[in-house]
Structure 1
Amino acid sequence: MPGSSQPLLTAITHRWESGLAERLGRSDVVHVVHRCADLAELLGTVEAGLGRVVVVSSDLRGLDRAVVSDLGGHGLQVLGVHPPDDEDGARALRRWGVTEVLPADADLATLETALERLLGERAGPASDWDRAVEDELEQEPAADPGEARAAGAEDADGAPAAGDVAADRDGPGAQEPREPHEPEDGVPGRGRVVVVWGPAGSPGRTTVAVNLAAEIASPVCGVLLIDADTYAASVAQVLSVLDEAPGVAAAARAADQGTLDREALAALAPEVLPGLRVLTGLPRADRWPELREHAFADILEISRQLADWVVVDVGFGLEQDEELSFDTRALRRNGPTLAALEVADQVVVAGAGDPVGLQRLVRGLDALDEVNRAPRTVVVTRVRASAVGSDPHRRVRDALARFAGLRDVHLVPDDRAALDGALLAGRVLREHAPRSLARQALRDLAERLTGGAGAAVPAGRQPRRWRLRSSG
């Protein structure tokens, strides 16, 4: 990069601000263009396009992983400082994603060395050793991608092998994290993410997500069901999970603070069936700002370590234009949905089996093409003759083939008695009505997605149910 001095912003608590600003003012690497009094002023200055690098202090009010991520998103390099001997402050900065961390009383030479690393400069001319290493790296062939992953962590298509998960529970309500697939080197496996999405209009997203997760789950195949619907979360109600703590909101806070790991996520996601954990959604729609996009992306990444399969129930919205309505970087209500679709290994698209639902499904598939290209399975729920005429299965397939070019559609009959009974009882179809037509269709869907790696519970045999009590 050029050797010219780079513009720098500071957002440091008053105790250290004066001394740091004075030392940075004498630097040849950077020049201070603005000293921000608080986080709000810093974000406003960043939006104005000022600065190439920013210095923030660990005790700055409001600073967290979300802010650091936003600063990086604007192209700024972040140098973190913390009070001398404050190891907790240093750890917090690193958890938030700050790579260069120094005590606030660091001298100018130390500050410049860290800034040069951030800006891609060397502290001095390259040594013979440096040049030799670079030459060797340039001549070395690229590593086999398979060697970069933990040996045995995934099978040929990226899915953990069935039977590699050991059941490790002491009984109902056990909160110890179950062990996902772990290869010999001890590195956790990488679970697969299945996102259940559908257009607006109650197409059965939650019904499909809940029952799909239940069909895959077994003592040897762990599943984490996440309710990420920022408009109408309902997984907790469907499963009669009465604990009032919103699991996904608590997980997002922990992700923002850099404290979310596999064990912490397991504690927030109770087990409601053998092998099935649930991370409940937001209790009220107006709390959607608590579920930030980048935090939810972290949740999904850690979820892959906790479970073999991660089933995500998301909202209908796919719009990405919130920032057009704001002068500053805006929170995105659809951010969790878009984040899930971005990393999805498979997408299940749910639509309703009536004229309005099918029209919305066709249009929704066009919108989905713009944000996701993962393998997808289209599921039409509540298929019934009263809505589309005689031979409803044929009519639905013909309509989707004609208007959406779909030749492969999975249909779920409108088994209203079984579905209503399961909802009233707070159970999944596998428990409440194992012989129902809807349950059989959803079981077939699970086998199709997993290749038969999920649960294999014959019709009529019900798994043991572990009930959760209200915290209040």
Structure 2
Amino acid sequence: MTVGVLCAVRGAAEAAIVQAVDGTCGRLTVTRRCADLAELLAAAEAGLGRIAVVSADLPMLDRDAVAALHRSGVRLVGLGDPGAPWLGERITALGADLVVDAPDDTAGAADLVRDVVEVLGRAADHPGRSGATATDRDARGPSFDPPDLDAVAVDRSGGTPRRTELGKVVAVWGPTGAPGRTTVAVNLAAELALLGGHTLLVDADTYGGTIAQAVGLLDEAPGLAAAARAAGQGGLDTELLARLSPVISPDLRVLSGISRADRWPELPAAALDVVWTVARTLAAWTVIDCGFCIEQDEVLSYDTRAPRRNAATLSALGDADEIVVVGAGDPLGVQRLVRALGDVAQLGLVGRTTVVVNQVRASVAGPRPGEAITAALDRYAGVSAPHLVPEDRSALDAALLEARLLHELAPTSPARRAIAALALRLVERPRQASLARPEGRSRERASVAAPRDAARLAGA
């Protein structure tokens, strides 16, 4: 079976590579010689090839472009320069599947193509090792399974010191209505740090991120945007991420978010995926404060590669080991929480979910607010044991006024004790691979029933 090759090579090496590909007796064929990155991406999207041979110094080549090639089912072979080893390191960091030196002559080009053919044969012998998912293969058709180019890829560590054990990622998310996502995220990160795990707190709320203000940091230079830029150019490592995230208390770092909502295009998903990966090598726990919106409709509005408005939140939720869903403890908050749990379940996430009901108080939920909220969530969302955080307005207001953490200002606060218990729960329980979904009730039934339950809750 002939496999198409897209060639975006600069300089004299292009002609040698094309000639070598034509000499593979039909195994490979050059289907498009691309003049620039835009033509390469268009050819990949059109399904004209399954392998792209690209110069490491191709203008505009970044992590997002490599991710677009991978989404199109194209594996990337990067051509480095022996005289400039940093080019090979850069394209490796961008996510290239195989990095080799650019050939100097016809013999070198033949050796390069022979390596690619060998990898193709290895992939045919071991189809299960392909990086493509079953869904991806079904969408592309039976023509070709991408080869396991990682089997011959160079070492991508780059000599960067790493933790011996990768850390966990916790995404704190909740529906609209200010249920207290930031409050929970900030103090959950602080409690995890107190339990002995070096923790990184990240503000990924692209609509109204305020973690910097909450902990008393300046946000003129958003750390997350700088990390995403470095990741997009293949330059993010553990040391740089540590420099971008100042320490605010023992074992607790903060990576500040964007200062204005209109800066959301600076946080593409492909770059953030790298940020979360590097964060695992820096901290035992990475706590990400996410925005409320998880809509994906905007992707249907584009027929070209374009940024996605909610990419930061979707990327964090998709990479998280633990997803903390925060809702407010009032009738409107319970209704929104039930609907939100159905929306999260539809994303097909793999992280374990923990439902947290914040601001629980008798004044709005009845004389036994905890029991009423637990019964409502069990009946309409299948959540049998939500984690309840009581309302403690005086302690929270004082902490916000002084830009301090709850455990520093009000160690005996009921809200602080509840969040500390949540942190201990995350530390002690084993990791599970599947997302907990409501059982026995459909999303539609939960959504319709929520208003009736909210009314009953208010009068409990």
Do both proteins adopt the same fold according to a TM-score greater than 0.5, normalized to the shorter chain? yes
- Structure 2 gaps of 5+ residues are 126-160, 430-460
Q: Is the 8 A contact 1:85 1:103 kept in 2?
A: no
Q: Which residue of 1 aligns with 2:387?
A: 410
Q: Which residue of 1 aligns with 2:454?
A: none
Q: Which residue of 2 aligns with 1:459?
A: none
- Check if 1:12 corresponds to 2:13: no
Q: Which residue of 1 aligns with 2:42?
A: 44
Q: Which residue of 1 aligns with 2:333?
A: 357
Q: Is the 8 A contact 1:100 1:114 kept in 2?
A: no
Q: Which residue of 1 aligns with 2:68?
A: 70
Distance 1:328 1:348 in 2: 34
- Which of the residues 384, 391, 396 maps onto 2:373? 396
Distance 1:116 1:322 in 2: 42
- Which of the residues 307, 310, 326 maps onto 2:302? 326
- Tell me which amino acid in the other structure corresponds to 1:229: D
- Check if 1:430 corresponds to 2:407: yes
What does the per-residue CA deviation read over 1:350-408, in whole Å, with 9 as the maximum and x for residues that have no partner? 00111111111001111112232433221111122332333322322222222222221
- Check if 1:203 corresponds to 2:184: no
1:397/1:26 CA distance change after superposition, 3 Å: closer
Q: Is the 8 A contact 2:69 2:76 kept in 1?
A: yes
Distance 2:226 2:28 in 1: 39
Secondary structure of 1:55's partner? strand
1:122/1:446 CA distance change after superposition, 3 Å: closer
Q: Which residue of 2 aligns with 1:462?
A: none
Q: Is the 8 A contact 1:322 1:330 kept in 2?
A: no
- Which of the residues 257, 261, 276 maps onto 2:233? 257
Q: Which residue of 1 aligns with 2:440?
A: none
- Check if 1:382 corresponds to 2:374: no
Q: Which residue of 1 aligns with 2:147?
A: none
Q: Is the 8 A contact 1:415 1:436 kept in 2?
A: yes
Distance 2:421 2:91 in 1: 47
1:292/1:118 CA distance change after superposition, 3 Å: farther
- Which of the residues 29, 33, 40 maps onto 1:31? 29
1:64/1:379 CA distance change after superposition, 3 Å: same
Distance 2:387 2:43 in 1: 51
Q: Is the 8 A contact 1:16 1:104 kept in 2?
A: no
Q: Which residue of 1 aligns with 2:153?
A: none
Q: TM-score, normalised by structure 1?
A: 0.75
Q: Which residue of 1 aligns with 2:345?
A: 369
Q: Which residue of 1 aligns with 2:458?
A: none
Distance 2:362 2:195 in 1: 39
What does the per-residue CA deviation read over 1:156-207, in whole Å, with 9 as the maximum and x for residues that have no partner? xxxxxxxxxxxxxxxxxxxxxxxxxx9xxx8622222222111122111111
- Check if 1:286 corresponds to 2:262: yes
Q: Which residue of 2 aligns with 1:420?
A: 397
Q: Which residue of 1 aligns with 2:204?
A: 228
Distance 2:306 2:41 in 1: 11
Offset of 1:122 from its aligned partner?
7.2
Q: CA RMSD in A?
A: 2.8
Distance 1:352 1:301 in 2: 31
Q: TM-score, normalised by structure 2?
A: 0.77
Q: Which residue of 2 aligns with 1:458?
A: none
Distance 1:25 1:265 in 2: 41
- Check if 1:296 corresponds to 2:275: no
- Which of the residues 428, 445, 449 maps onto 1:451? 428
Q: Which residue of 1 aligns with 2:95?
A: 97
Offset of 1:325 from its aligned partner?
1.5
Q: Is the 8 A contact 1:24 1:32 kept in 2?
A: no
Distance 1:425 1:17 in 2: 62
Offset of 1:41 from its aligned partner?
2.2
Offset of 1:276 from its aligned partner?
0.5
Offset of 1:10 from its aligned partner?
2.4
Q: Which residue of 2 aligns with 1:441?
A: 418
Q: Is the 8 A contact 1:224 1:303 kept in 2?
A: yes
The within-5 A match list for 1:206-217 is 206-217=182-193
Offset of 1:316 from its aligned partner?
2.1
1:122/1:200 CA distance change after superposition, 3 Å: closer
- Tell me which amino acid in the other structure corresponds to 2:74: L
Distance 1:422 1:307 in 2: 25
Q: Is the 8 A contact 1:93 1:101 kept in 2?
A: yes
Secondary structure of 1:216's partner? helix
- Tell me which amino acid in the other structure corresponds to 1:417: S
Greater shift, 103-112 or 293-302, is seen at: 103-112
Greater shift, 316-325 or 248-257, is seen at: 316-325
The within-5 A match list for 1:101-112 is 101-112=99-110
Distance 1:393 1:402 in 2: 14
Offset of 1:219 from its aligned partner?
8.5
Q: Is the 8 A contact 1:323 1:329 kept in 2?
A: no
What does the per-residue CA deviation read over 1:299-340, in whole Å, with 9 as the maximum and x for residues that have no partner? 222222211222111122333343322112443333332333
- Structure 1 gaps of 5+ residues are 127-133, 135-181, 453-472
Distance 1:25 1:236 in 2: 54
Aligned pairs, how many? 391
Q: Is the 8 A contact 2:5 2:30 kept in 1?
A: yes
What does the per-residue CA deviation read over 1:66-107, in whole Å, with 9 as the maximum and x for residues that have no partner? 212221221112222245622222222222222433444533
- Tell me which amino acid in the other structure corresponds to 2:382: G
Q: Is the 8 A contact 2:17 2:113 kept in 1?
A: no
Distance 1:58 1:308 in 2: 33
Distance 1:290 1:19 in 2: 37
1:221/1:91 CA distance change after superposition, 3 Å: closer
Offset of 1:275 from its aligned partner?
0.9
Distance 1:115 1:238 in 2: 55
1:238/1:77 CA distance change after superposition, 3 Å: same
- Tell me which amino acid in the other structure corresponds to 1:38: D
- Tell me which amino acid in the other structure corresponds to 1:87: P
Offset of 1:119 from its aligned partner?
4.9
1:83/1:117 CA distance change after superposition, 3 Å: closer
Q: 1 or 2, which has the higher helix percentage? A: 2
Q: Which residue of 2 aligns with 1:336?
A: 312
1:339/1:391 CA distance change after superposition, 3 Å: same
Q: Is the 8 A contact 1:383 1:414 kept in 2?
A: yes
Aligned-residue sequence identity (percent) comes to 48
1:75/1:447 CA distance change after superposition, 3 Å: same
Distance 1:120 1:21 in 2: 16
Distance 1:344 1:419 in 2: 27
Q: Is the 8 A contact 1:193 1:304 kept in 2?
A: yes
Q: Is the 8 A contact 2:268 2:307 kept in 1?
A: yes
